[in-house]
Amino acid sequence: MVLDTGSDIVWIQCAPCTKCYSQTDPVFDPTKSRSFANIPCVSPMCRRLDSPGCSTKKQICLYQVSYGDGSFTVGEFSTETLTFRGTRVDRVMLGCGHDNEGLFVGAAGLLGLGRGGLSFPSQMGRLFNRKFSYCLVDRSASSKPSSMVFGDSAISRTAQFTPMLSNPKVDTFYYVELLGISVGGTLVSGISPSLFKLDSTGNGGVIIDSGTSVTRLTRPAYVALRDAFRAGASNLKQGPEFSLFDTCFDLSGKTEVKVPTVVLHFRGADVSLPASNYLIPVDNSGSFCFAFAGTMSGLSIIGNIQQQGFRVVYDLAASRVGFAPRGCA
């Protein structure tokens, strides 16, 4: 399943498919499960959905979720037993998706790890003390697997922590306070904390999202960061833009290069990114791009490319997010 800290609903593809994308394992067939149960429309569980539906024929609860990239899933809201490495969790509320379209290729579904009431951590609450963490290995270079830990052992001893902020308007996202960014050891002057402020109306702010790949910063912050990086990397041969990246380099024929350091300064935690977390290969011929992008929305998102190799700790009990470097070992 896709691990997504930017959404809440847990769902899997279910037979019979109206429209399913291709997944690696066989599609789950609820008729073959003794523990699977539909949720009736009149159930309070159904009313916990943001936009619940009801099938008139069977009077069972329906769900739908759409994501920022246009992907969506639609189906029956139900309960089922999930087993993780021998740990059984009964009656987890999840979507049984019969129409699932978008960028989910290969995965059987999505594990919603957000802060909302229907997310997996919220449903499990007491079972693992409202703590979990993951470490994502470098997708292009690693033979080690990524890992996910639930419970007290999710807290890494080497993690630096930053307080989790709450947005009264949106309960799903993990907001953190980003104060500034350094390039090559110098604070970027055009980036002030006000660019990342979560205001009283629920706009702006910075979230940590495992389900977004490239970090998006509000446009003025991105432009300042990019210009500082370009200035520090002026020794490198520039390459053409690629997809959403406007700052790319032709490193063909080089075995190693020196690049400016990039450090994200959160309140209480300075996260120093390895070069592979911000200069990423985009082809097989030596083109690398600076893996940040701007956004016209006020919301900035720290994506999973920037999280690679860190154990990212979500400690809801203490309302904090932690970052432990080299956390995948």
Question: What integer pLDDT is reported at residue 118 of this predicted model?
Answer: 97
Placement of tokens 């399913």 in the chain: 20
Rounded distance between C-alpha atoms, residue 318 and residue 316, angstroms: 5
Asked if 131 and 315 count as a contact pair (C-beta separation under 8 A), the reply is yes
**Cβ burial, residue 117 (10 Å; 0-12/13-18/19+):** middle
68 — pLDDT class (breaks 50, 70, 90): confident
Asked if 41 and 63 count as a contact pair (C-beta separation under 8 A), the reply is no
**Per-chain mean pLDDT for the chain:** 95
Rounded distance between C-alpha atoms, residue 149 and residue 269, angstroms: 21
85-141 pLDDT tens trace: 888 999 999 999 999 999 888 899 999 999 999 999 999 988 899 999 999 998 777
Question: What integer pLDDT is reported at residue 85 of this predicted model?
Answer: 85
11-60 pLDDT tens trace: 999 999 999 999 999 999 999 999 999 999 999 999 999 999 999 999 99
Percent of the chain having pLDDT more than 70? 100
Question: What integer pLDDT is reported at residue 101 of this predicted model?
Answer: 96
Residues designated catalytic:
4, 209
215-252 pLDDT tens trace: 999 999 999 999 999 999 999 999 999 999 999 999 99
CB neighbours of residue 12 within 10 Å: 24
pTM of the model: 0.94
Mean pLDDT within 257-266: 97
Placement of tokens 């055009």 in the chain: 190
Question: What integer pLDDT is reported at residue 164 of this predicted model?
Answer: 97
